[in-house]
A and B are shown apart, each in its own frame.
Chain A
């Protein structure tokens, strides 16, 4: 950062504190902005979450003991928490992606519609996740 000891002109000029163009920190948080961030984070989480799917499939192919071990991990409260988060990330990324596909057609880009779509994404993903787990667990007869 400091230009001390540097003989090139470009470096010494940088010591002057110049105003920089507004970046993320200056904006008020908006739903579209938050959904954009969450879409990327859930995408990144799902990327590593594929390890869970791979573990499930491989253990099923390996045999009883491997399958029991993976089932035990998934059945642990912490494992359930991870699976719950994974299912939410999956549904959220899916709904967010459908919003992007709609935008690709040029529709829903008005600020008001984009805001509504953002709220639909988060409320939809949360309620769908709860609904699916409630449904899945009620089929099994409880946690």
Chain B
């Protein structure tokens, strides 16, 4: 006999109330990253050894700036989820774990906002 209510069972969110959210977002961003990382590799090869003006103009173009922004967003979401798993696997003391999880979020958001700011500056006002 289960003590779970029929509603809890049908929602399927589990004790953390997140259900498959972490798993799903990791997969969603993984699939997006396949395309976005491929874009980055092609762009970097095209820009290998290019001077500043060429790089600036390339990054300011919408067809490069938009995938770059998508890559940054999808990338930092993916890496935050991944590092969260690593921390939860290896850091067992509660205080250190919570601190590490917070730092993880701060780092991911800092990198994300920094890159987004740089790309937008190149596109709109550099």
Contacts and interface: CB of A to CB of B under 8 A. Distances in A.
A19 B27 CA distance: 39
Contacts of A54: 111, 114-115, 118
B45 A135 contact: yes
Contacts of B30: 97, 100-101
B79 A94 contact: no
B100 interface: no
Interface string B82-123: 110010000000000000000000010001001101110110
Contact of A139 (B48, B75, B79): B48
Contacts of A135: 45
Contacts of B33: 94, 97
A98 interface: yes
Contacts, number: 81
Report, as a range, how many residues of chain A touch the other chain.
20 to 34
A32 B118 CA distance: 40
Interface residues of B, number: 33
Contacts of A98: 34
A68 B56 CA distance: 13
Interface of A: 40, 43-44, 46-47, 50-51, 53-54, 57-58, 60-61, 63-64, 67-68, 87, 90, 94, 97-98, 100-101, 104, 132, 135-137, 139-140
29 contacts: A40-B86, A43-B79, A43-B83, A50-B75, A50-B76, A50-B79, A50-B111, A50-B115, A53-B115, A54-B118, A57-B122, A58-B118, A60-B118, A61-B117, A61-B118, A61-B121, A63-B52, A64-B52, A90-B37, A94-B33, A94-B34, A94-B37, A97-B30, A97-B33, A97-B34, A98-B34, A100-B30, A136-B44, A137-B48
